[in-house]
């Protein structure tokens, strides 16, 4: 009878410890996914398109969407086909980090 109680107690303890370990692993996975989505939001993306509008006062330009160019030393010209690397700011604006004349001739 003592062995049966010991075995039952051991199995109950093992199940409890396993459950805690699984819960901790799931919490770490959720945290890693959260960190990745934050990192993905901050990672530069690339867009190619024709510049349709430039506002030198506001330091913005438009290629399908309007980009903030606060960190750029110069603005592209209207009609230029460019490749734009950008990030999304916390307030939802698209901030251009760099642009180059595009080698694409699809526009």
Beta-carbon-side half-sphere exposure of residue 107 (alpha carbons within 13 Å): 17
Q: Give the mean pLDDT of the chain.
A: 74
- Contact, 89 vs 68, CB < 8 A? yes
pLDDT of residue 33: 45
Q: What is the pLDDT of residues 23-68, one digit of tens each?
A: 444 445 454 444 444 556 667 788 888 899 999 999 999 988 889 8
Non-local (6+) Cβ contacts of 92 within 8 A are none
Nearest-angstrom CA–CA distance, 55 and 58: 6
Fold type of domain 44-101: OB fold (Dihydrolipoamide Acetyltransferase, E2P) (2.40.50)
Question: Widest CA span of the chain, in angstroms?
Answer: 88
């Amino acid at each position: 009878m003592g062995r049966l109680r010991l075995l039952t107690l051991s199995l109950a303890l093992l199940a409890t410890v396993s459950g805690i370990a699984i819960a901790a692993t799931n919490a770490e996975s959720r945290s890693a996914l959260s960190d990745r989505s934050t990192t993905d939001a901050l990672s530069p993306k690339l867009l190619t398109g024709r510049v349709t509008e430039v506002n030198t006062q506001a330091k913005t330009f438009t290629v399908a969407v309007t980009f903030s160019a606060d960190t750029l030393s110069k603005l592209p010209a209207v009609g230029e086909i460019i490749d734009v690397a950008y990030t999304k700011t916390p307030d939802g604006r698209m901030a251009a980090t760099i642009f180059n004349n595009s080698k694409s001739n699809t526009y």
